[in-house]
Amino acid sequence: MRKVLGKGLFIVVILVIIVSVTVSIVEAQSKSFLIDCGSNSSVNVDGRKWVGDMAPNNNVTLSSSGFVVSTSTLSGNSIYDPLYKTARIFTSYLNYTIKGVKGNYFVRFHFCPFVNEDYNLNKSSFGVVANGMKVLSEFNVPLEISDENMELQKSGKNSSSFFLVKEYVMAINVDTLVIEFVPSGSSFGFINAIEIVSFVDELFPGSVGKVGGGNLNLTGRSMETMYRLNVGGSKIQSNQDPDLWRTWEVDSSHMITANAGSGVKNTSNITYASVNDTSMAPLLVYETARAMTNNEVLEKRFNMSWKFEVDPDFDYLVRLHFCELVYDKANERIFRIYINNRTAADNFDVYVRAGGMNKAYHQDYFDSLSSKIDTLWVQLGPDTAAGAAGTDALLNGLEVFKLSKNGNLASVQRYDSADNATSKSKGKVLWVGIGAGVASALVLAIVIVLVLCFCRSRRKASTDTKNNPPGWRPLFLYGAALNSTVGAKGSAGTQKAYGSMASTRVGKKFTLAEINAATKNFDESLIIGVGGFGKVYKGEIDDGVLAAIKRANPQSEQGLTEFETEIDMLSKLRHRHLVSLIGFCEEKNEMILVYEYMANGTLRSHLFGSDLPPLSWKQRLEACIGAARGLHYLHTGADRGIIHRDVKTTNILLDENFVAKMADFGLSKDGPALDHTHVSTAVKGSFGYLDPEYFRRQQLTEKSDVYSFGVVLFECACARAVINPTLPRDQINLAEWAMRWQKQKSLETIIDPHLRGTYCPESLTKFGEIAEKCLADDGKSRPTMGEVLWHLEYVLQLHEAWLNMHNSETSFSSNQVLKVEGLEVLHEPSSEDEEDALNLKE
Ligand SMILES: *[C@@H]1O[C@H](CO)[C@@H](O)[C@H](O)[C@H]1NC(C)=O
Ligand SMILES: *[C@@H]1O[C@H](CO)[C@@H](O)[C@H](O)[C@H]1NC(C)=O
Ligand SMILES: *[C@@H]1O[C@H](CO)[C@@H](O)[C@H](O)[C@H]1NC(C)=O
Ligand SMILES: *[C@@H]1O[C@H](CO)[C@@H](O)[C@H](O)[C@H]1NC(C)=O
Ligand SMILES: *[C@@H]1O[C@H](CO)[C@@H](O)[C@H](O)[C@H]1NC(C)=O
Ligand SMILES: *[C@@H]1O[C@H](CO)[C@@H](O)[C@H](O)[C@H]1NC(C)=O
Ligand SMILES: *[C@@H]1O[C@H](CO)[C@@H](O)[C@H](O)[C@H]1NC(C)=O
Ligand SMILES: *[C@@H]1O[C@H](CO)[C@@H](O)[C@H](O)[C@H]1NC(C)=O
Ligand SMILES: *[C@@H]1O[C@H](CO)[C@@H](O)[C@H](O)[C@H]1NC(C)=O
Ligand SMILES: *[C@@H]1O[C@H](CO)[C@@H](O)[C@H](O)[C@H]1NC(C)=O
Ligand SMILES: *[C@@H]1O[C@H](CO)[C@@H](O)[C@H](O)[C@H]1NC(C)=O
Ligand SMILES: *[C@@H]1O[C@H](CO)[C@@H](O)[C@H](O)[C@H]1NC(C)=O
């Protein structure tokens, strides 16, 4: 009875659609069979006519009728919804036989699991065999849903449903296509629609070059489309690719570091490089690309990398689409292509290969994966052999096809059964948990993971995500999405912290009138600094107390957040080596911060570029120690640790006694929360000081500050700008240049000439070693600020001992060296360390 009612409703829906859709049917250029399963009439969607599988004269024969189910509650997340409102269910073998299909075809199966009174399509499990080729095995849609489809689902916020399209490439050399649907065990299966679209022979070549040499004959091999991406552009819907009806997804979710590549677009006049290429991809794909992010002078020591989850033990065809959109001559952009860490091509110049600018071109590569590898990496990066041109790369589109193996395309190993799901590490498997109603087990697992991570992050603040157990990240991701129970635990904690922080601001609130009086209405002659945030004035507040008054530039977009950050940060931080906030003023759209006045200005101004007398080695060491102490406090003092993010000599200020203090917390971020080992964030900071690892991976840890601090150390020793474009190319970047000398153990060669003969050579050696360690490529191998501080104090002691010896004109004796070295061991916490300890308790 219910079923009949359902059917009646369904017919009404179909009739409404037929009446309301007045789109004329576009005659597709390619031959196609569009089958609406569970229907005996036809329906127009996406401008094409889909014929019911039970409609008369449709060239489709069913071996049995199964059951028809339908829904009326599908909530519009796809143009295909009218198609998806019906499905055919089978509980035993069901064959679809389609006549007149000889040729090359894309065969697409559409699955949209909805709930019906009798069946929850989520719970189906079945296999599909097409002309003897096993394409799906123990297939369950929720299990199969990958991250992109997750997004798909999320994109329609109201939608209670989602869908999945599986696409196969088949060369059919007989006149009929028999699609067998086989339920697994006592389970059942379903199908919403079958789409069969022909393509021209040229779409796939006879043979493809293998990564690492050799060729592979592709003739007659069936394939499954695993990924199809419009790189650097937006999603291309199937109706925007009107010959072959392919969907091109966005690529950013597959990029390991999305900011490594920035979008490039040129819609003018793109043509195909070859007349046979017109169906390779729509021109829309070639109009957008990703090129390596232009990071000015920082050496492009990174790749643009895309990562794909694939099934192990299969062969893959990787198709890369290129179109040079910017340069109109050869030798401007030359790069290397890596597939799974092996070079697939070098000296790759799109302009040369495509035969010009704005020419759509593609290149195929073939790679076999062993049974252990379940990811496919595609990387484009610098080709240093190509000189300056070899520092940029470009990619417009990307497709990954899985090749059949022994008559099989199905991935059984991905999930044997729900029982074994816990042993799998992929994000997908999570859905088993949710789907099968063991969400409570999942919650428990998240609790355990959180607890484990909590303990670990307590022990070691910054380890790498790589060390996390497999599956940890997605687990957390989804866990956070659950939000109600465990996910909320972490965030509620932080929110509370923020809340209390904001309410306990200690600074004084100034009126604008007071500020105007202090700065003589922002008299230009009182300006002592200009930064991204705005201008800094010297002013007199209260009774003659000097202050630095920072006034936000009204045009500064980030101003407000940075302003708030800085107030919040400084309000909860009190330390001898942090510039302290006296107060702030928020009036009439003004954002003004009032700090203690630092009489001697920036450390940089005492190193170079001004007429100030050069600092002695001892003063430089003391300044570095002061700054290190401030940073050490930032990293360890507050309850979560704070990453400064913009450590540089202009943010180290000196007071009247040359005591160094860290300033400018506008970019600061709270350190990793207990459940993260890093903070993911867009790259900010200053060129020349920027941690390359941070740039590559956008993972911010305290070690990014350590890197920048290492650059500060070199700057103190060499007294030159961290980036000086007027120097020869190999000297532009101080970090790279100084590291080359340091690695040859000859830092003294490039030391500030003012220091010559006035410093203890051992102290410089040791100093160089510290700086070198700070600049380690891998954040994990860099020391903590505490260790840096410790070693710098030792350096200072070495130097002071040397100074004492020189002042008393005594000759250098080995005895004293021993004594000096003993200091490292004997080092007692200084009074300042005790102060830090006190601050820690605050
Ligand atoms: C289509 O199917 C419905 C119910 O399944 C049936 O009532 C109707 O007669 C069928 N129409 C045709 C033309 O076969
Ligand atoms: C069925 O096949 C015949 C002959 O190939 C063709 O003319 C007809 O259009 C096909 N019908 C459908 C619905 O595709
Ligand atoms: C389905 O097709 C296959 C292959 O043609 C055949 O072996 C099998 O018997 C068919 N099953 C049914 C139920 O018709
Ligand atoms: C099917 O599974 C998906 C993903 O687990 C879920 O969002 C959806 O609510 C489920 N639908 C039904 C009817 O169980
Ligand atoms: C979601 O629902 C709201 C009202 O319930 C509606 O205004 C909105 O358009 C819907 N969004 C989508 C994507 O369906
Ligand atoms: C590939 O193999 C087929 C036979 O399987 C053969 O006819 C064809 O010539 C081969 N193509 C190439 C490029 O070797
Ligand atoms: C577009 O291409 C044609 C032929 O290559 C050329 O004649 C024309 O100048 C181009 N237009 C632009 C705007 O580049
Ligand atoms: C296009 O394809 C045809 C047939 O496969 C071939 O003869 C011709 O050389 C191709 N043209 C180009 C420019 O590759
Ligand atoms: C886009 O391509 C045209 C040539 O077709 C070129 O003249 C123009 O400079 C390009 N635009 C950009 C932004 O590169
Ligand atoms: C490629 O290298 C990355 C890290 O460098 C590693 O995580 C990945 O597993 C490697 N892939 C393969 C297939 O070896
Ligand atoms: C780019 O990736 C390849 C393969 O993983 C690696 O060998 C190479 O060192 C990387 N290049 C850079 C600059 O990171
Ligand atoms: C679970 O996996 C193990 C091997 O990892 C296998 O021996 C066992 O049969 C599987 N269990 C089920 C229920 O599939």
Lowest mean pLDDT among 281-295, 482-496, 824-838: 482-496
User: Does the pLDDT at position 296 exceed 80?
Assistant: no
Average confidence (pLDDT) over 701-722: 93
Least confident of 297-311, 467-481, 692-706, 747-761: 467-481
Query: 625: domain CATH number?
Result: 1.10.510.10
Length of the chain: 842
Instruction: Say how far apart CA 259 and CA 250 lie, in whole Å.
Output: 14
Model confidence at 344, pLDDT cuts 50, 70, 90, reads very high
Query: Which of 3, 7, 11, 40 gets mutated to test ligand 1 (max ligand atoms within 8 A of its CB)?
Result: 40
Q: For residue 554, what pLDDT is reported? A: 64
**Helices assigned H by DSSP within 301-383:** 350-354
**Ligand 12 atom at minimum distance from 417 CA:** 14
Instruction: Please state the separation of Cα 158 from the chain's center in Å.
Output: 27
Predicted pLDDT of residue 451? 39
Quickly tell me which residue has 């306990």 as its tokens. Answer: 504
User: Residue 4's pLDDT is what?
Assistant: 46
Dihedral sign from CA coordinates of 62, 63, 65, 69: negative
Rounded to whole angstroms, the Cα distance separating 394 from 658 reads 49
CA proximity to 799, closest of 763, 751, 758: 763
Question: 342 and 306 in one domain?
Answer: yes
d(CA 495, CA 509): 24
User: Quick one: average pLDDT of 732-756?
Assistant: 91
Q: Is the pLDDT of residue 465 over 90?
A: no
3-state DSSP assignment of residue 322 = strand
Q: What's the pLDDT band for 246 if we cut at 50, 70, 90?
A: very high
User: Is 325 close to ligand 7, i.e. is its CB under 6 Å away?
Assistant: no
The predicted structure's pLDDT at residue 149: 46
Of all residues in the chain, the percent with pLDDT exceeding 70 is 73
Q: Are residues 791 and 826 in the same domain?
A: yes
Answer for the pair 110, 180: CB distance below 8 angstroms, yes or no: no
Q: Based on the fold, state whether residues 335 and 404 are members of the same structural domain.
A: yes
Task: Specify if 240 maps to a domain.
Answer: yes
- Give 519-540 pLDDT, tens digit per residue: 888 888 888 877 666 788 988 8
Q: What is the mean pLDDT of residues 327-349?
A: 92
* Ligand lying nearest the CA atom of residue 271: 7
When mean pLDDT is compared across 25-39, 235-249, 371-385, 652-666, the lowest value belongs to 25-39
Q: How many structural domains does the chain have?
A: 4
| Residue range 291-295: mean pLDDT, rounded | 72
Ligand 3 neighbours, Cβ below 6 Å, are 63, 93, 95, 178, 180
In Å, how far are 546, 650, 653, 755 from 658, measured between CA atoms? 16, 14, 8, 18
Confidence band, pLDDT 50/70/90 cuts, at residue 701? confident
Per-residue confidence at 638, pLDDT binned at 50, 70, 90?
A: low
Q: Assess whether the C-beta atom of 434 lies below 6 angstroms from ligand 4.
A: yes
Pocket test for ligand 10, best of 301, 308, 375 (most atoms within 8 A of CB): 375
- Tell me the pLDDT band of 16, cut-offs 50, 70 and 90: very low
Ligand 1, atom 9, residue with closest C-alpha = 40
What is the DSSP code string of 813-836? -HHHHHHHHHHHHHPPPPHHHHHH
How confident is the model at residue 558, as a pLDDT? 54
- Closest ligand to the CA of 159: 5
Answer yes or no: is 384 within a domain: yes
Cβ of 534 below 6 Å from ligand 4:
no
Backbone angles phi, psi at 319, to 5 degrees: -110, 120
- Does residue 422 carry a pLDDT above 80? no
Is the Cα torsion angle 198, 203, 207, 209 positive or negative in sign? negative
Nearest to 96 by CA among 57, 62, 66, 121: 62
pLDDT at 434 over 60: no
Residue 835's contacts (CB-CB under 8 Å, 6 or more residues apart) are 576
Closest listed ligand to the CA of 466 = 10
Q: CA–CA separation, 187 vs 92, rounded Å? A: 9
Q: Ligand 2 — pocket residues by CB below 6 A? A: 51, 58-59, 100
- 671 contacts 643 by C-beta, under 8 angstroms: yes
The pocket around ligand 5, CB under 6 angstroms, is made up of 76, 156-158
- Measure 608 CA to ligand 6 centroid, in angstroms: 70
3-class secondary-structure state, position 113: coil
Pairing, β 249-250 against β 271-272:
unpaired
pLDDT of res. 583: 84
Q: Is 267's C-beta closer than 6 angstroms to any atom of ligand 7?
A: no
Q: How open is the CA angle 296-302-306, to the nearest 5 degrees?
A: 120
DSSP 3-state percent helix, strand, coil across the chain (nearest 5) = 35, 25, 40
Name the phi and psi angles at 410, rounded to 5: -85, 145
669's CB contacts (< 8 A; 6+ apart) are 642, 643, 645, 679, 681, 700
Query: Is 364 among the residues known to form the active site?
Result: no
Block residue for tokens 């729509």: 282
550 is in an annotated binding site: yes
Q: Ligand 2 pocket check: which of 59, 196, 198 to mutate, most ligand atoms within 8 Å of Cβ?
A: 59
Q: Which domain holds residue 370?
A: 209-415
Residue 202 CB less than 6 A away from ligand 8: yes
Q: Is residue 90 part of a domain?
A: no
- Can you say how many angstroms the Cα of residue 512 is from the centroid of all Cα atoms in its chain? 42
For 98-122, what is the mean pLDDT?
A: 88
Say if residue 366 is in the same domain as residue 449.
Answer: no
Q: Select the more confidently predicted residue: 618 or 502.
A: 618
Residues 216, 276 within the same domain: yes
Asked whether residue 435 carries a pLDDT value surpassing 70, the answer given is: no
Which amino acid does the sequence have at 554?
P
Q: 733 pLDDT exceeds 50?
A: yes
| 740 and 816 belong to one structural domain | yes
Q: What is the DSSP track for 118-155? A: S-BGGG--EEEEETTEEEEEEE-HHHH--HHHHHHHHH
Ligand 3, closest atom to CA 64?
13
Tell how far the Cα of 414 is from the centroid of ligand 12, in angstroms: 12
Give yes or no for a contact between 162 and 84, defined as CB atoms under 8 angstroms apart. Answer: no
The CATH number covering residue 277 comes to: 2.60.120.430
Secondary structure (3-state) at 104: strand
Same domain (yes/no): 351, 459 = no
Q: Which residue has the higher pLDDT, 230 or 637?
A: 230
416 lines ligand 12 (CB under 6 A): yes
Distance CA 560, CA 642 (A): 19
In tens, the pLDDT along 684-694 reads 567 788 888 87
Give the integer Cα–Cα distance in Å for 686 and 651: 11
Q: What is the mean pLDDT of residues 423-443?
A: 30
Residue nearest to atom 3 of ligand 9 (CA): 268
End position of a domain, from candidates 407, 429, 464: 464
- Provide the pLDDT for residue 390: 72
Same domain? For 406 and 450 the reply is: no
The amino acid present at 378, given as its one-letter code, is V
Ligand 5, atom 13: nearest CA belongs to which residue? 156
Where residue 269 falls (left for φ over 0; alpha for ψ -120 to 50; beta otherwise) is left
**Do 821 and 704 share a domain, yes or no?**
yes
DSSP 553-564: -TT-STHHHHHH
The secondary structure of 769-785 as a DSSP string is HHHHHHT-SSGGGSPPH
At 712, is the pLDDT very low, low, confident or very high (cuts 50, 70, 90)? very high
State the Cα–Cα distance between residues 13 and 11, nearest whole angstrom: 5
383 and 451 together in one domain:
no
Q: Which residues, in sequence order, are CB contacts of 679 under 8 Å at separation 6+?
A: 643, 669, 670, 671, 672, 699, 700, 701
Q: Whose CA is nearest to atom 2 of ligand 8?
A: 276
The predicted-structure confidence for 313-331, as pLDDT tens digits, reads as follows 899 999 999 999 999 988 8
In sequence order, the β-bridge partners of residue 290 are 263, 395
Task: Look at residue 635 in the predicted model and tell me its pLDDT.
Answer: 87
**57's tokens:** 């004269």
Residue 571 lies in a domain: no
Q: Are residues 456 and 367 in the same domain?
A: no
Q: Per residue in 536-592, pLDDT tens?
A: 898 888 777 888 888 877 665 556 666 777 777 677 777 889 888 888 888 777 788
Q: What pLDDT score does 287 carry?
A: 95
Please give, one letter per residue, the 3-state secondary structure of 366-409: EEECCCCCCEEEEEEEECHHHHHHHHCCEECEEEEEEECECCEC
Task: Give the mean pLDDT of 814-829.
Answer: 37
Same domain, residue pair 243 and 348: yes
Residue 455 has pLDDT above 80, yes or no: no
Does residue 784 surpass a pLDDT of 60?
A: yes
How would DSSP label each residue in 678-700?
Answer: SEE----S-TTT--HHHHHH-EE
**Whether pLDDT at 401 is above 90:** yes
Of 12-21, 81-90, 112-121, which range is least confident? 12-21
Q: Is the CB of 355 under 6 A from ligand 7?
A: no
Lowest mean pLDDT: which of 39-53, 374-388, 648-662, 788-802? 374-388
From 646, 670, 691, 752, active-site residue? 646
**pTM metric for this prediction:** 0.59
| Dist. CA 339 → ligand 10 center (Å) | 10
pLDDT level of residue 177 (50, 70, 90 thresholds): very high
Assess if residue 180 is contained within a domain.
Answer: no
Ligand 6-lining residues (CB < 6 angstroms):
206-207, 217, 219-220
Highest mean pLDDT among 86-100, 291-305, 567-581: 86-100
d(CA 115, CA 212): 49
CB 222 within 8 A of CB 409: yes
Question: What is the enclosing helix (H) or strand (E) of 61?
Answer: strand 60-62
Q: Quick one: which atom of ligand 9 is closest to the CA of 270?
A: 5
pLDDT of the residue at 232: 92
Structure tokens at 763: 């102290």
Task: Please check whether residue 74 lies inside any domain of the structure.
Answer: no
With CA atoms as reference, report the closest residue to 50 among 18, 9, 20, 76: 18
Least confident segment among 357-361, 493-497, 504-508: 493-497
pLDDT for the residue 143: 75
Summarize the confidence of residues 124-138 as an average pLDDT. Answer: 92
Q: Is residue 542 part of a domain?
A: no
Local structure of 486: helix, strand or coil: coil
Q: What is the strand order of the sheet 335-339 is part of?
A: 304-309, 375-382, 335-339, 342-348
Assess if residue 39 is contained within a domain: no
Mean pLDDT across the chain, nearest whole number?
Answer: 76
Q: Which residues on neighbouring strands pair with residue 62, listed in sequence order? A: 96
- Which of 266, 267, 268, 269 has most ligand 7 atoms within 8 Å of CB, for mutation? 269
pLDDT of 63 above 50: yes
* Confidence class for position 507, pLDDT limits 50, 70, 90: low
Asked if the model's pLDDT at residue 342 lies above 80, the reply is yes
Are 321 and 361 in contact by the 8 Å Cβ rule? The answer is: yes
Task: Write out pLDDT tens, residues 615-633.
Answer: 999 999 999 999 999 999 8
